[in-house]
Amino acid sequence: MRSADGAPAPIAEGIARLREELEVPDDFPSDVTAAAIAAAKAAPMPERDLREVPFVAIDPPGAQDVDQLLHLERDAEGFLVWYAIADLGSFVEPGGVIDAEAHRRGQTFYAPSGRTPLHPPELSEGAASLLEGQDRPALVWQHRLDAEGALTETTVERALVRNRRQLTYEQVQADLDAGNADPALQLLAEVGQLRQAQERARGGVSLNLPDQEVEATDGRWQLSFRSTLPVEGWNAQISLLTGIAAAKLMIEAKVGILRTLPPAEPDAERTLRETAELLGIDWPADMPYQDFVPTLDTSIHSHSAMMNACTLLFRGAGYQAFDGEVPEQPLHAAMATPYAHCTAPLRRLVDRYTLETCLALVNGQRPADWVLAAYPELPDTMRDSDRRAKAYERGIVDLVEALVLQHRVGDTFTAVVVDVDEAKPDATRFRGRIVVEADAVEATVTADRELPLGEQVQVRLTAVDLVAGTVDFELA
């Protein structure tokens, strides 16, 4: 979501309601801002100087809160991946006012009319952000991979770095497609695909769903679907690699905090296979789930419904902190490996604690007392902020859907049924979810007959509520 303007008047009340209901913070208290300004001026620079490493950033256009820089090079028979992460630990005093406010927020909240950052802009978009052409303190990871992309060695240290160029995904993809990308970015494509193969081999999978985006031009807000570019998946694999390496360090030391996801229910894959059969999609009996998902093409209606069903396979993501005994279920089931959040400390509270833990462990030390003291409360803090952030973003998209459809009550639309609710035997009304591709709207639909999953249908818009952010469709 992006917009330089404030929210349009018709949905401003709805956004204000969401902010109040979900306790989305307002501006930072004056003492927090003052502390951030002071920290920006006084932060110590690391002795280790890695400014000769030609780091670049790859972010959405206009990003100011730059968490990560990367550089890749060949190393003997394999690869060396450099990954620099913004060092909030150099700016945030444990137990100080910035720290306390970050715990209250948990993470950054995003809206088209502006984000509500985890840290004051003086840090998150200034002194701590890895902005182009600036010298910055960072936590620099070095990952050594073999020729197949498997992780063989990892380390992390504090160092001074410089972002040589701030690139967009579109720029990098265009250069890669044209064959004139920088050698390090060509390696990103190579390593990214090797890591995707590693993911599939261990039973993990990434769902490549189109993004539903809010766009604003000259005060006009609208929705669009945007398919992710291949380079976004390759770039994400470097972040996932770092999270996997962090989890490995913490599990070996029996202290840390993991991002966990329980395994799918025993009958979940059987249900998915039944859905594929219903949709007429071939899923060979000997093909595992992680190999089946990449065969789906969301531009095909039945495949779009199938991908929606795949999102329901895993439920219950959370965090587990531990000290002395590794959790009984340490895996992130969708990745089929232990994993930790550590690559977005400007935007997510838990990452700062993971980074400080890993930095201590590679130096043969226990995590600092202030890190350990935060462990018991961190999972609940992050779970609550995740819930609120997701509800806020979904609520705003719902409001924009109502905004773009407000004058079209009674109109008929072409839609695809992507999900159906299980109906009772004596049901006379049926419910499901549809995607109206032309307007990039996802909504609920009701019908007096069973809805045809994965098929194109005609639906009629019956009601719009600009404050609640609801749109009602019925099968035409």
Q: Report DSSP letters for 388-428, one per residue.
A: HHHHHHHHHHHHHHHHHHTT-TT-EEEEEEEEEPPPPTT-S
Instruction: Determine the Cα–Cα distance for residues 473 and 418; give it in Å rounded to an integer.
Output: 14
Question: Which residue has 């229910």 as its token pair?
Answer: 265
pLDDT at 138 (0 to 100) = 98
Query: Dihedral of CA 55/61/62/63: which sign?
Result: negative
Instruction: Look at residue 113 in the predicted model and tell me its pLDDT.
Output: 72
For 125-153, give the DSSP string.
IIITS--BT-EEEEEEEEEEE-TTS-EEE
- Over range 259-281, report the average pLDDT: 89
The 10s digit of each residue's pLDDT in 193-215 is 999 999 999 999 888 777 888 87
Q: What is the pLDDT of residues 67-106, one digit of tens each?
A: 999 999 999 889 999 999 999 999 999 999 999 999 999 9
The more confident residue out of 320 and 3 is 320
Q: Which pLDDT value is given to residue 327? A: 93
Query: Closest Cα partner for 141 from 218, 248, 65, 217?
Result: 248
Residues contacting 133, CB < 8 A, separation 6+: 162, 163, 164
Mean pLDDT of 168-187: 96
Mean pLDDT of 379-399: 95
Residue written as tokens 């997701």? Answer: 390
Q: Look at residue 310 and tell me whether its pLDDT is greater than 60.
A: yes
The ranges of the chain annotated as CATH 2.40.50.140 are: 406-475
- CA dist., res. 233 & res. 228, Å (int): 8
Q: Strand pairing of 430-436 and 470-475?
A: unpaired
Average pLDDT over residues 442-448: 93
* Rounded distance between C-alpha atoms, residue 57 and residue 84, angstroms: 10
Task: Kindly state the average pLDDT of the residues 286-290.
Answer: 90
Q: Average pLDDT of 364-382?
A: 97
Distance of CA 222 to the CA centre of its chain: 22
Residue 5: its pLDDT value, please? 54
- For residue 299, the SS3 value is coil
* 8 A C-beta contact, residue 116 and residue 24: yes
Q: Checking phi first, is residue 382 left (phi over 0); if not, alpha (psi -120 to 50) or beta?
A: alpha
Report the pLDDT value the prediction gives residue 69, as an integer from 0 to 100.
Answer: 98
Quick check: helix, strand or coil at residue 44? coil
Cα-based distances in Å from 284 to 118, 287, 303, 313, 315: 46, 5, 15, 18, 25
Q: What is the CATH number assigned to the segment(s) 406-475?
A: 2.40.50.140
Q: Give the alpha-carbon dihedral of 57, 111, 19, 35, to 10 degrees.
A: 30
User: Is pLDDT at 4 greater than 50 in this prediction?
Assistant: no
CA-based radius of gyration for the chain = 23
Provide the residue type at 427 as one letter: A
* Backbone dihedral angles phi then psi of residue 255, each to the nearest 5 degrees: -155, 135
Q: How many CB atoms lie within 10 A of CB 179?
A: 7
Residues 353, 122: Cα–Cα separation, whole Å: 21
Identify the pLDDT of residue 121.
96
Residue with tokens 């990367």: 70
Calculate the CA dihedral of residues 59, 63, 64, 70 and round it to 10 degrees: 0
